[in-house]
Structure formats: structure tokens, C-alpha cells
Amino acid sequence: MLHITNPYSSHHAWSDLQTASGFLLDWDGCCAINNRLVPEAADFLRQHQHRSAIVSNNSTNTVEDFLDLLSGEGIEMREDQIVLAGMKALQQAAETCPGPTLVLGDPRMRAVARSLGIDIVQKDADLIVLLRDTRFSYRRLERAVNALRNGGRLIVANPDTTHPAGQGLLMPETGALLAAIRACVDIPTDAVEIIGKPSPHLFRKGCEALGTAYEDTVMIGDNPLTDVKGAGALGIRTCLVDSPPGEFFRRLEKALRTA
């Protein structure tokens, strides 16, 4: 089932998709489930790889992971066409804080942080970077809470609390870890920066990569708040896909062929 956001009728919304210069595509629940490409989404990306960018709140994988996975499916995209919240959060940390930093994330992402020159510490951090840390623990929560209590800043990869894990299951997301931290300590608004959707940062990067104006670009995703509301706030056209997305991509490809 396809939902098109207001103010267009479905007829006009299909023409919106047909006349788009570029496509921003969400990953989890749209192009992929559990990092396995939906076959119809893979077909779409193969067909439109030069005018598509992946814009994802993923914070456990690197751009290289995505390029390898896509390349294995015959989809060749450039690095800048893969816009990931976790990678952008680490880049933001490296560019804005030369001081001691607590990185809550998986070992591979912590290795990326080190490669970017981030000074990783366990205590007395000036900055905390929160990713989807699948080894999150009481001890890590304690470290983050006390660093914030002592005036540290916080960069958060994304505010999502879950994403679909397939077979009707949910995968806890970065926002759920943020909720645990917020349960312990008040964080001043100016001390926290959310990098991922619905913040504008990733959408901007995606459009820059494609060289398309916001109004000529469509964001396709399965989350009404992060994908649709976030992109819509910039004037990007939006399209909400119900899960499973295979049927949507079949209909989209048919509509584009008949345009």
C-alpha cells in the first residue's frame, strides 16, 4: 500500500515521483530489512543508481559496508551517495571537539572514531557521542550520565527508539539509549545535537551528493516522522512506504516506466 503525503492527490503524487530529478532512500524498512536488500528495492537502485542516495539513520555500519553490500548486488554508487547518521556523527565530533570524547558505539565504529583522530576516553569526557551501541551496559550508562552532569556535550546519531528487524520483531535504536540517559540526567537543549533524521543534516548531504534542488528531489521512507516530516520541512517531496516495501517499488518502477 502506498501513502503519499499532502497536499497532493495520489495522481499528482505519482507525477511528483515521475518528474523527480533525484531520490533519497531510507534504508531500514525501505530498501532493506536487517541489512538484506529487498529484491525490488535492489532492482530500483540498479536502474536509478546515478540519481539515488541512501539517507539512513544507521549508526553501526560504515560507508564501505554499504558500498560492498550494494556492489555485490550490481549497484555501483559513490561514497557521497551513502549518507549515514553514525558516520556523520563521528565526523561532526572530530570537526568540533578536539578534546576527550566518550564514544558509545560498536567496536568497529569506535575504530572509525580513532581513525578520525577522536581522543577516546572512558571518563572526564568533554563530549559524548551516542550511536546504536549494541554493547550498551550499566557501566556505559554511568559514564555517559556523569560526563553530562559535569557539563559535557552530547552528539546523538539519531532519535529513533526502534527500527523493524523483520519477522515482526523490533530492534532497539539509539533513541532508546538516549531515553535511558535522559532518565538519569537533565540535558540542556543547547548541549545536545541530533545528527540523523528528522534533523536536516542528512537530507542536505543527500541532495548535495545528487546535485538536486530540494523541490526536485523525493525522499522515500517508511517513517512518517523522520523520513516524511523531516524531509518535508526542507521542501523535499516525500513518499511514505508501508512495510513490506516490495510491492511499493514494483508500482514505483511501473509508474516511472510509463512516465
Taking CA atoms, 113 is separated from 76, 92, 157, 173, in Å, by 26, 11, 13, 20
* Residues forming the site for Mg ion (CB under 5 A): 26, 28-29, 222-223
Whichever of 43 and 222 has its CB closer to Mg ion, that residue is 222
Cβ neighbours of 213 (radius 10 Å): 12
Whichever of 56 and 101 has its CB closer to Mg ion, that residue is 56
Cβ neighbours of 173 (radius 10 Å): 21
**What is the smallest separation between the CB atom of 38 and Mg ion, expressed in angstroms?**
12
**What is the smallest separation between the CB atom of 56 and Mg ion, expressed in angstroms?**
8
**What is the smallest separation between the CB atom of 146 and Mg ion, expressed in angstroms?**
33
**What is the smallest separation between the CB atom of 65 and Mg ion, expressed in angstroms?**
17
Taking CA atoms, 85 is separated from 115, 184, 205, 215, in Å, by 17, 25, 11, 23
Whichever of 120 and 165 has its CB closer to Mg ion, that residue is 165
Whichever of 84 and 113 has its CB closer to Mg ion, that residue is 84
Residue nearest to Mg ion (CB): 29
CA 50 and chain centroid, separation: 20
